[in-house]
Amino acid sequence: MAQIPFLDRRALMALMAKSGIGAGALAAGWPLLAASSWPRNIEANPRFTDDPFALGVASGDPAPDGFVIWTRLCPRPAEQHYGMPRQPMIVGWEVAPDEGFSTIVAKGEALASPELGHSVHVEVAGLSPDRVWFYRFRIAGQVSATGRSRTLPLPGARVDRLRFAVAGCQHYEHGHYTAWQHIAQEPVDFVFHYGDYIYETNEKGADTLTIQGNTFPRARKHNNDEPYSLDDYRQRYAQYKTDPHLQAAHAAAPFWMSLDDHEVDNDWADRWDQDGTPPEVFLYRRAAAFQAYYEHMPLRRAAMPDGSHMQMYRGARYGDLMSAFVLDTRQYRSDQIGEAEKLPGGDKLAPMTPAAYDPARTMMGDAQEQWLFNGLAKSDTRWNLIAHQVMLMHLVGRAQGGVKGYNMDRWSGYMHSRRRLLAHIDKACPGNVVTVSGDAHRHYAGDVVQDEGAPGAKPGKVITTEFLGTSVSSGDDGMGELNTPQQLADNPVLKATIDRRGYVLCDMGRDVLHADLKVIDRVSSPGGTVSTYASFAVERGHPGMHRA
């Protein structure tokens, strides 16, 4: 599927005018239908004894004149049908420049269909650029929580500062969402969620969990078994989204969402899962997982799944300061070494093999790679941000017994793709690319060079930098700096790492980007405190990071 890196809203409006579609239709939510075209079986007089907005509100994918606002009618999240009749309903929505809604600048009605879990995705448009907006939903006399979002600056506008958080990996059973509580209080322009919004695992109700040989109390428990069907995944998302801290973070700022593996199944890649399920069968599970993901995220209609495919890679431009590229490193990648080749690997440490350098192996797929390369080559902003899911640094690790190896689920298992990306960055936009990622459940901050750490390799030229955010809760409280000295000694490009929960907070100026590695002292119980483990600066035109 073709992908346009930056939405040309003016061209879209012109096309709508030629087609006889009014501007108001663009903000009418999905589907973009006149009221006369709505289903005939709409519930005309809905009534709720419980809060229909129990899963909160969210916004995302901002544009210069609007953004997506989301909610899902779900008054009883723990029940099979969520307390909802099997009929479509009409939900009202409003947008205002003030939190008190004294002046409503946009409003309308959207269809909440049972086919989409009574979720609502409204693509609001026609707003002024580069300012804060507030939104809410209404149905049957009940009003949702108020959400806060922000439109993008115009493409050519001067922007001096941009603040954003990087977070993800939020295993419900491993800990409380204290990180989201603190992110909700940060003055950020957006949040990049790098994936693992839910975890599909089921621990059979055990009271403890074991991580890297250490036993922790289980903070919370999933309320259903491992999901395979659409209803299974809906139940899992409903449980996660009842968390008040996660709701607060979504209501505080727009999100750029991406998915990794646990939204479907651990370590899945393209049409393969970790269990050897026939690909044609696994794709049915992937389709169910994708639909549930779409139903619960503030995504545009362009991301609506087509069977087992979702269009998730996309871009945005923040005036003249930054071009952002949100990648998808799951749908198009080759199977992991250790799965396809029956060698040690997957997400376990393994020695580098010739298979990792095979040109036929891809991380992004040809179409996405070309989209990214074209976008970077044409970019005229001061910075470029590549936001993706798994580690780009080629770091050596140590398994039990001190045996060195590399994680084949990361870019290290796709060295041909990695080399191509770094070579293109070095040629097209040297010195102004920063990458952010996650998945590893530790903070990692370091420089990215070609083949760093490879046997016999000499220290290479620094191409870019990477801030890999630790998890929100996955891994329980963590083990602090255990293994940190060894990892730093084994990997000269690595500047900091710690096994604690938290997030990355970035503050981008015109010439310097500052990044703080935020850590939470505990998530096994509520009330953890946040602190800054390490701070770094990256100077535009000088790839590489240094302590701030």
Q: Could you read off the pLDDT of 264-313 as tens digits, one per residue?
A: 999 999 999 999 999 999 999 999 999 999 999 999 999 999 999 999 99
State residue 399's pLDDT score.
81
Residue 44 binned pLDDT confidence (cut-offs 50, 70, 90): confident
Task: Find the Cα–Cα–Cα–Cα dihedral 97, 100, 106, 108, rounded to 10°.
Answer: 160
- Number of H helices and E strands in the chain, helices first, is 9, 27
DSSP-assigned letter for residue 64: T
Within a 10 A sphere around the Cβ of 49, how many other Cβ atoms? 8
- The DSSP annotation for 405-438 comes to EEETTSGGG-HHHHHHHHHHHHHHSTT-EEEEE-
Residue 254 confidence (pLDDT) above 60 = yes
Beta bridge partners of 143: 138
List, in order, residues 6 or more apart from 213 with CB less than 8 Å away: none
% the chain with pLDDT above 90: 82
Pairing label, strands 433-437, 383-387: parallel
CA gap 42, 479 in Å, rounded: 53
Q: Which residue has the tokens 């005309």?
A: 44
Residue 14 confidence (pLDDT) above 80 = no
CA gap 253, 275 in Å, rounded: 38
Give the number of C-alpha atoms closer than 13 A to the C-alpha of residue 99, restricted to the C-beta side: 6
CA gap 217, 420 in Å, rounded: 44
State residue 162's pLDDT score.
98
Mean pLDDT across 367-385: 98
Residue 29 confidence (pLDDT) above 50 = no
CA gap 265, 68 in Å, rounded: 27
CA gap 133, 97 in Å, rounded: 5
Residue 401 binned pLDDT confidence (cut-offs 50, 70, 90): confident
H or E segment and range at residue 25: helix 23-26
CA gap 128, 64 in Å, rounded: 7
Range list of H helices, 146-278: 178-183, 230-241, 244-252
Angle of the 279-295 helix axis to the 230-241 helix axis, nearest 10:
40
State residue 472's pLDDT score.
98
Tell me the two tokens of residue 187: 């003055």
Q: What is the pTM of this model?
A: 0.93
CA gap 306, 273 in Å, rounded: 20
Torsion sign (Cα): 481, 486, 491, 495: positive
Residue 340 confidence (pLDDT) above 50 = no
Q: Could you read off the pLDDT of 418-434 as tens digits, one per residue?
A: 999 999 999 999 999 99
Lowest model confidence (mean pLDDT) among 27-31, 70-74, 118-122, 509-513: 27-31
Residue 1 binned pLDDT confidence (cut-offs 50, 70, 90): very low
State residue 455's pLDDT score.
56
42: phi then psi, degrees, rounded to nearest 5: -60, 140
Residue 11 confidence (pLDDT) above 90 = no
Residue 16 confidence (pLDDT) above 60 = no
State residue 473's pLDDT score.
98
Cβ 258 vs Cβ 327: under 8 Å: yes
**CA nearest neighbour of 124 among 300, 292, 6, 247:** 300
CA gap 56, 518 in Å, rounded: 25
Q: Which residue has the tokens 């969520």?
A: 82
CA gap 236, 229 in Å, rounded: 11
DSSP-assigned letter for residue 206: -
Angle of the 230-241 helix axis to the 244-252 helix axis, nearest 10:
80
CA gap 371, 463 in Å, rounded: 20
List, in order, residues 6 or more apart from 485 with CB less than 8 Å away: none
Torsion sign (Cα): 337, 339, 341, 344: positive
State residue 458's pLDDT score.
63
Lowest model confidence (mean pLDDT) among 166-170, 186-190, 358-362, 451-455: 451-455
Residue 415 confidence (pLDDT) above 50 = yes
List, in order, residues 6 or more apart from 36 with CB less than 8 Å away: none
% the chain with pLDDT above 70: 90
Cβ 471 vs Cβ 168: under 8 Å: yes
- The DSSP annotation for 272-341 comes to B-TT---HHHHHHHHHHHHHHHHHTS---GGGS-BTTB----EEEEETTTEEEEE---SSSPPPPTTTSS
Cβ 119 vs Cβ 72: under 8 Å: yes
Within a 10 A sphere around the Cβ of 102, how many other Cβ atoms? 8
Q: Could you read off the pLDDT of 474-526 as tens digits, one per residue?
A: 999 999 999 999 999 999 999 999 999 999 999 999 999 999 999 999 999 99
Within a 10 A sphere around the Cβ of 20, how many other Cβ atoms? 7
List, in order, residues 6 or more apart from 410 with CB less than 8 Å away: 390, 391, 392, 439, 440
Q: Across the chain, what does the average pLDDT equal?
A: 91
Cβ 457 vs Cβ 495: under 8 Å: no
DSSP-based three-state secondary structure for 14 = helix
Burial class (CB in 10 A: 0-12, 13-18, 19+), 542: middle
